[in-house]
Every structure is written in structure tokens, then in C-alpha cells.
Amino acid sequence: MVLDEPVSGLDVSIRAQIMNLLKDLQADLGLTMFLISHDLPGVRYLADVIGVMYLGELVEMGNADQVYNNPLHPYTKVLLSSIPMPFEEDRAKHERIKITGEVPSPLNPPSGCRFHTRCPFAMPICSEVTPESKETEAGHKVSCHLY
Ligand code: SF4
């Protein structure tokens, strides 16, 4: 099943009902769902395995706990730091990582690491060499020269 941004434009209560329905279908029918979304809390709620993509390339992959509790790729860290947090104590614990610049065209992507034009941790090698996917722990893979 492929769901492309299925619920993010809906009223919050309808959205919660649909998310719960999908969760029930997952459990009751043993379904495998493929969800493509920018709704990070929704992904956390539904997904067992998460792949993070930037400009059409997979930059990090792992189970939901690995990716949310120990994000490795700078783009994953940027995404997770952008989740709004209503409570001051949570905001104090999670520093917001901001990036600048526009998303480059996927038709003419940057050389080396595609994220290097916006990455706060970019090094000289990043614009020259495409990082390979490395497994840092069982099932948790990242494509970044920091590892
Ligand atoms: S390879 Fe370099 S530019 Fe790419 S995400 Fe890692 S540190 Fe940033």
C-alpha cells in the first residue's frame, strides 16, 4: 500500500482517526504500508522502519527508535529539531538546528554529498566525494562523512 501525504491536510481530529485506522489495519491484517510524508510525529506513530531522503537519495535508515532517539545524519537532525514542542522544558532540551539556502534542483544536484550546500557540518571532502552508506549499529545506516 502506498500512501502519499495521506492525512496532513486534514482537520486534526479526522487525521487522528485515520492514523488510528491505519494502525489498526496494520495490526489486524498484518499489512505492510509504505508511507511517504513530512508529518514527522505521524511517521513516528505509524512506522516500524524509517528511511530519510534528501534530494531523491536515502541518507539514513533504521527502526523508528534508532532514527528518532539517535538521529545520525545532519539532515535528519535538522528535520527532528524542527518539530514544534509545546512545553518549555522540552524546548530547552532540544536545540533547534537551522539551515539556510534553497533546496537545489534534483535535475542538477550538488556534487559529492547532496546536502553539502546546506549542511552546518560540511567539510571539504563533502563537496567532492559522495558518502557511502555505513551501518553504525544493527539495522541503522547513514550516508555521511562524519561516520
Ligand atoms: S557528508 Fe558532509 S555535507 Fe553531507 S551530511 Fe555529512 S557532514 Fe554534512
Q: How remote is the CA of residue 9 from the centroid of ligand 1, in Å? A: 32
Residue 73: the pLDDT is 97
Predicted pLDDT of residue 118: 96
Sketch the domain layout of the chain as residue ranges: 1-47, 67-147
Q: Name every protein residue with a CB atom under 6 angstroms from any ligand 1 atom.
A: 73-74, 113, 115-116, 119, 121-123, 126, 131, 144-146
What is the pTM (predicted TM-score) of this model? 0.86
pLDDT at position 86 is 73
What stretches in the chain show pLDDT beneath 70?
A: 1-9
Atom number in ligand 1 closest to CA 73: 5
pLDDT for residue 12: 81
Report helix, strand or coil for 135. strand
